[in-house]
Amino acid sequence: MSAEADRGSDALGVYTVLPFSSGVRLLGPWERESFNRWEALFPDRFPSFQGYTFHIASRLKDEPFFFPSVKDPLKRNGVGLDMMECLSAKLNFSYTATNNSPDSKWGASSNGVWDGVLGMVHRREKNFTINSFLLDINRSRDFDFSTPIHIDGFGVYLRSPDPLPNWMSFAKVFQGSVWLAVLFAFLASTCFTLLRERVREGWSQSLERNRPTRGLATICLDIQRPLVAQSVPLLPAAVPLRILMALWFVHGLVITVAYTSNLVGIFTSPVYPRRLQDLQEIADSEIQVFV
């Protein structure tokens, strides 16, 4: 407030720090009209590096970013080097670069101590690196990365499996869980019908005493008839068995239609074994992986 009333010696001054030039620069006295824009209050502090020399930690084994020339091994090439040449000419700085790290490593952390190229940067022996590094949580914790200029994609290639033999197509129509469900329903229906027949044998006075008693083989044949689109020659007289047979016929109709429809599709296009879905399945398999 005093600055607005009296712009004399008591006026407030606004300064900024220029690390690569004169150090501190006065932007002017504090006035609302002078700093009504963001750029006026926060100017570019790095318009030029004033001939400063940056020291780069690098390895000359990083195509296409930093690698030796084929014709002259003492000459360096690479996208990273070209970028440094352009930036140094634009921003007025020079630089030095290393051909390798002291331990010939890229950079890994062991108990908080970094080695390789990143170790030189972490120990403040060098300013930065122009090599390409994989971004991971450990490196991002101790280092700042620039905007990526190159992103690699990784994939696993496996040989396509051979189609299954045609005789296996009859079993591959349904998954194993479906076949187990059909088998369980078949056994349950057979056991219930057989139990009902044994109970009828024990009744001395029954409406069904004149009907012949069916054995296990006959019951199994009658139960499997709906599964092969066949009718039952003689329906049971007991109401529970009739209800069971009605439900079983509906079940058999659904299974039969689904099986024949899928079988047509399978014979139209070959059936292949289930393919591996993730890296864990590859690790658990017997496939030998070569990188």
**pTM of the prediction?**
0.49
Please enumerate in sequence order all residues whose Cβ is within 8 A of that of 81, keeping only pairs 6 or more positions apart, or say none: 65, 66, 97, 130
Structure tokens that stand for 12 in this block? 């407030």
Residues 146-189: tens digit of each pLDDT: 888 877 777 777 777 776 666 666 677 777 788 888 888 888 88
| Domain extents in the chain | 1-47, 48-147, 166-268
In this prediction, residue 2 carries a pLDDT of: 37
Place of tokens 């292949």: 272
In this prediction, residue 213 carries a pLDDT of: 66
Strand-strand pairing, 128-129 and 113-114: unpaired
Low pLDDT (below 50) residues in the chain: 1-6, 203-207
In this prediction, residue 114 carries a pLDDT of: 94
Q: Which fold has domain 48-147?
A: D-Maltodextrin-Binding Protein; domain 2 (3.40.190)
